[in-house]
Amino acid sequence: MAWLGVTVAALLILVVMIDTFEVMILPRRVRHDFRLARLFYRAAWVLWRAMARLLPAGRWRFGFLSVFGPMSLFALMTVWATGLIVGFALLHWSLDTAMSFPRHADDSFASYLYFSGTTFFTLGYGDLVPIGRFGQTLSVAEAGIGFGFLAVVISYLPVLYQAFSRREITISLLDARAGSPPTAGELLRRLVEGGSLAGVDPLLTEWERWAAELLESHLSYPVLRFYRSQHDNQSWVGALTTILDTSALLVAGLDGAHGHQARLTFAMARHAAVDLGLVSRTPPLPLESDRLPAADFDRLRDSLRSAGVPVREGHGVAKALSELRGLYEPFVNALAAQFQFAIPPFMPDKPPVDNWQTSPWTPRSPGLDGLPAAGAEDDHIV
């Protein structure tokens, strides 16, 4: 029985240390199925989504889902720390490590568990002290592992939140450029209203890089997939879908010299959608209804033409756009269903109210033309 306990303890410590290394330090996709973090997130997210469905749709459900990302990170770290503490306690108990027990303690597993916890967190109370050389060596090893574990956790958090911040800054820029929620039709219309489509290539270049950073950061730090944006009508899945829609529209339906950059951005964004679906174990999910039926496509084309966007003529445009949509819509739909996001339409049903135009005190602020001059309302600024 002693050797069975030693084997179980060694396996538990090894599994936790490998999992911690793969999640926090190893910046690449891990292919094997039996990962503690993956099993934890599968079970925890299924339970969290089930509880979220009990809440009314809207602000309360969104707020409840937004808590999962940060809370799950600390819960996972607690699971790791508990696994190491229990593993070393089981190792001491199985090997019957000699201890100087005080009068109120005995050689039960609970005493070894207490000793393992104080050693792992380097508390150094000194009420339980190993006597033999093996016990002392094992205690020093556990203290070193505990110290290194805490150092890795502390250094991991700033890197994680920097990646989250970079992702959200670019998403926030879509608010005034493409509406809330962002749509491809609104993005192109506002670009033309700003002067011409000359700004499309720099914008697509920026979003090509954003898609590459999204893929790299969400593969290296999978917990970022559960971190949600500040507004419930924004998300990384929604932004990715909007850029794919915009690139597909430019490639299939617009005249001009924007096709090359649009193809590059489309390729990078689709790559991100496919790979993130793969690591999230979300197979492609067909849409329940067409996002752009024929009537809506005609309305979108008329809206773009009236804004001055050079849309191509002919039925081949709708066919080419449909083929491009088939390359990415099932993947972004699967991601949206998995992480409880909404996929934005190609164009809004009515003029959108951007997030910057709203506040808790007024339903809608004036447009850019109605903004007061700088300093006119300084006495109201807190």
Please tell me the distance from the alpha carbon of residue 81 to that of residue 153, in angstroms, as a whole number.
11
Question: For residues 200 and 250, what is the distance between their CA atoms, to the nearest angstrom?
Answer: 10
315 in a domain, yes or no? Answer: yes
Mean pLDDT value of segment 131-146: 89
Whether residue 310 is found in the same domain as residue 180: yes
Encoded amino acid at 340, one letter: Q
Are both 173 and 277 inside the same structural domain? yes
Q: Which of 155, 190, 220 is the last residue in one of the domains?
A: 155
Structural domain ending residue among the three candidates 139, 155, 171: 155
Task: Name residue 78's amino acid.
Answer: T
345 with 293: CB under 8 angstroms?
Answer: no
> Which of 20-29, 129-138, 183-192 has the least mean pLDDT?
20-29
Residue 370 has pLDDT above 80, yes or no: no
Cite the DSSP H helix spans in 179-258.
184-193, 200-220, 236-253
Per-residue pLDDT of 277-319, as tens digits, reads: 998 889 999 999 899 888 888 888 888 888 777 777 777 888 8
| Domain presence at residue 360 | no
Whether the ω angle into residue 202 lies within 30 degrees of 0, i.e. cis, is no
The answer as to whether 242 is a domain residue is yes
Which tens digits make up the pLDDT trace of 344-363?
998 887 777 777 777 666 55
Inside any domain, residue 110: yes
**370 within a domain of the structure (yes/no):** no
Same domain, 257 and 151: no
136 in the same domain as 175: no
Residues 168 and 150 in one domain: no
Domain count, the chain: 2
- Are both 146 and 166 inside the same structural domain? no
Same domain, 26 and 149: yes
User: Which of the pair, 209 or 366, is modelled with greater confidence?
Assistant: 209
Task: Give the CA radius of gyration of the chain.
Answer: 27
The answer to the question of residue 249 being in a domain is: yes
In a domain, residue 303? The reply is: yes
Q: Is residue 69 part of a domain?
A: yes
Q: Answer yes or no: do 94 and 7 share one domain.
A: yes
Q: 172 and 199 in one domain? A: yes
Q: Do 146 and 224 sit in the same domain of this protein?
A: no
Strand partners for 254: 311
In the numeric block, the tokens 């590459």 are attached to 212
Q: Is 29 left (phi over 0), alpha (psi -120 to 50) or beta?
A: beta
Task: Answer yes or no: do 140 and 9 share one domain.
Answer: yes
Domain containing residue 100: 2-155
What's the pLDDT at 105?
A: 67
Tell whether 139 and 257 lie within a shared domain. no
Confirm whether pTM is higher than 0.75: yes
Chosen domain end from 138, 155, 172: 155
Residue 37's domain is classified under what CATH number?
1.10.287.70
